[in-house]
Structure 1
């Protein structure tokens, strides 16, 4: 039986990756700070060697917008090398090399660390998840008017489709940087905010706001998009409808 370690296994993506691998017959080790079986904080790595030992592959989904992803990846790489793990699958973000955002800069650094590690690696970049778009517009909808970044489009992808791809990659051979995985549509954030308001029956005026800075310019130029790899199938409307059915 193939043994696969999934980091960030209690998160939105990692949980689904672990489920798919188990369904496929793999022995899955679910690692996160809150995991009942492998409770490890990658930033200090205590207990990491035991989690990695004997693994045939690692799917690295753990991440934190608050920082420390490069430190965590360094600990994971070192542990994987000590254990002789032959395959490390890493999920990254489209545009980490084009949009000058601090979080993206660190994610790009992690990519290079993995590529230079000497471990057989597969790196999968994806566009933003539907979950992230929902979090942004639902949070903004708490205000009397719903502000959105003017002129910014996104290409949201379903996290379940990303989980399908990562599980398949983990069961295969190291493939290096593989083609991006993008959502089915490129749409302005203001448009998706309207979709959310109609789906939830809320009334707000959507207000596009021009922002300053290089990161905003990078988003406006589409550095985070991959329209040539629009292989996802689940639209934002379908994602919201599915969540509504589950809530009901």
Structure 2
């Protein structure tokens, strides 16, 4: 499996570049826009059951008006305080990106991100109503978050991610980058692998322009 350092190195340079599959796989799709709000789709199959949705009515009033410029350098890193996320933030800042970090409301741990020059916004993926405000003015979402060990794995890694992806679609996010795991589709007996597979399928079905990075 690729190290967190090599995964971080893949971004942000691959945010706007075509994807490819390699030792560090990168799958990219430039899908045609679909009407939103995004709804749960059945094509993810019986393995993946959707249980939450983004409140599109809450997101709509904050949607950026048509024609309002959004800088391609504006990125939101989800999971920014984690081992991988902080490396993505550091790399993006070094390359001149305008980095916003979504972190849970808590003291101290996010201070180092501010010290680096990133903007910190508070939200909780387990509370979908907190998500839309963090996406205003963002071009690209970089999702490298995972739940805490003490949490039920579905709370953040599945239910929270579904809500985040749906909000990204409803808010008009132009690119969604998701860190996944190589061969996650082949191990349904491993909960995290199964959730990564289901999340990949869900992203692919939304119509978002996406990139999936697969660590090996």
Alignment pair present for 1:74 and 2:157: no
Q: Secondary structure at the match of 2:153?
A: coil
Q: CA deviation at 1:95?
A: 2.2
Distance 1:31 1:85 in 2: 15
Name the one with the larger helix percent.
Answer: 1
Q: Secondary structure at the match of 2:75?
A: strand
Alignment pair present for 1:44 and 2:154: no
Partner of 1:120: 209
Alignment pair present for 1:85 and 2:168: no
Q: Name the TM-score, length of structure 1 as normaliser.
A: 0.49
Alignment pair present for 1:4 and 2:90: no
Deviations 1:14-35 (A, max 9, x none): 1110111111111101112144
Tell me: higher relative CO, structure 1 or 2? Use CA pairs within 8 A at least 6 residues apart: 2
Partner residue of 1:105 out of 182, 185, 194 = 194
Partner of 2:14: none
1:1-248 map, 5 Å: 1=71, 2-33=73-104, 34=106, 35=110, 37-64=120-147, 66-68=152-154, 69-99=157-187, 100-127=189-216
Q: CA deviation at 1:39?
A: 1.8
Distance 1:83 1:75 in 2: 12
Q: CA deviation at 1:71?
A: 0.7
Distance 2:136 2:166 in 1: 12
Q: Name the TM-score, length of structure 2 as normaliser.
A: 0.55
Q: Secondary structure at the match of 1:97?
A: helix
Deviations 1:47-80 (A, max 9, x none): 3111111111000001126412111111111211
Distance 2:124 2:87 in 1: 20
Q: CA deviation at 1:46?
A: 3.7
Distance 2:172 2:138 in 1: 9
Distance 2:168 2:137 in 1: 10
Q: Secondary structure at the match of 1:19?
A: helix
Distance 1:104 1:125 in 2: 11
8 A Cα contact 1:9 1:18, kept in partner: yes
Distance 1:28 1:55 in 2: 9
Contiguous gaps of at least 5 residues in structure 1: 128-248
